Amino acid sequence: MPRLSEVIAALENLWPAERAESWDAVGTVVGDPGQEVTRVLFAVDPVQEIVDEAVSLGAGLLVTHHPLYLRGTTTVAASTFKGRVVHTLIKNDIALHVAHTNADTADPGVSDALAGALDLRVVRPLVPDPGDPEGRRGLGRICELDHPLTVREFADRAAARLPATAQGIRVAGDPEATVRTVAVSGGSGDSLFDHVRAAGVDAFLTADLRHHPASEARAHSPLALFDAAHWATEWPWCELAAAQLDEISDRRGWDLRVHVSRTVTDPWTAHAASAATTAGAPN
């Protein structure tokens, strides 16, 4: 049975903290290095319902993609949302470890998992890490389809392969246009449009696309856009990361029980379609 410090060392080897962005907050947030760990739960968000799930599971370690405290705080009072999370973790001897932008650019990382969920073949990073001489690490991935699909067919594939959310998949582009190459980026991706255009791909799948960047991207080229829920584009990484830790556990004889939360923590809970989907400007 490994100690927390041993498991954390293995996770840091997969996603070194020094590869996180300077603004990020990664690493161990809560936990006693000497405590023994038998179960680990992976999730996207360190929210109360996920922490409660870890308690019910009997997990000794919760690993999330999103940080609990991305910015500084002056209180961990249980009367606050995040303070309650901290109190619940400590009371139940559950450690919390975060792998965020260091997991985004890892090889394999968040976008590799997204590509795998969509049955895409990864060719190279969209934004290569200049510190990687092999050119395998970096932000986003440029991918190829084994067989061309129309924009409509690829949207259907994304909707079927990614976890269901209220948003679903928003699509911009000619439904009958052909898609052979796709850039993907888990999480918010509209800051990457210059790299996507330079890559010359047929389509871009990411999350949190804003009106003006998307409109400008469409004006510059026939690039098809697929906008999925932020949570849905990052959740496949949980399965990838859990498999990586499972393999380490088997190799080291730890006998860890590794789990992936399937609790949907996307904040949007409903989608109301417009009553006039083909109408012009509102009155």
Q: Is 195 annotated as a binding residue?
A: no
In whole numbers, what is the pLDDT of the chain averaged over residues? 95
Q: Write out the DSSP string of 150-187.
A: EHHHHHHHHHHHSPP-SS--EEES-TTSEEEEEEEEEE
- Can you say whether the dihedral through the CA atoms of 28, 6, 239, 204 is positive or negative? positive
| Least confident among 29-33, 48-52, 218-222 | 218-222
pLDDT attached to residue 271: 85
Instruction: Please provide the DSSP assignment of 134-152 as one string.
Output: TS--EEEEEEEEEEEEEHH
* pTM of the predicted structure, to 2 decimals: 0.95
3-state secondary structure of 216: helix
Non-local CB neighbours of 255 within 8 Å, separated by 6+ positions: 1, 38, 249
Q: Cα–Cα distance between 131 and 218 in angstroms, integer?
A: 32
Residue 205 Cα distances to 119, 184, 230, angstroms: 13, 5, 11
Give SS3 for 91.
helix
225-281: per-residue pLDDT in tens? 999 999 999 999 999 999 999 999 999 999 999 999 999 999 999 988 766 555 555
- The percent of residues in the chain predicted with pLDDT above 90, rounded, is 94
Looking up tokens 């409109």, which residue turns up?
A: 215
Largest CA distance in the chain: 67
Full DSSP string of 29-63: EE--TTSB--EEEEES---HHHHHHHHHHT-SEEE
Strand, coil or helix: what is 96?
A: strand
Question: Which string of b and e fits 15-37 if b means at least 16 CB within 10 Å?
Answer: beeebbeeebbbbbbbbeeeeeb
66 is in an annotated binding site: yes
At residue 282, the pLDDT reads 60
Structural tokens at position 260: 């992936």
Domains of the chain: 4-102+234-259 (3.40.1390.30), 105-228 (3.40.1390.30)
The answer to whether 65 is annotated as binding is yes
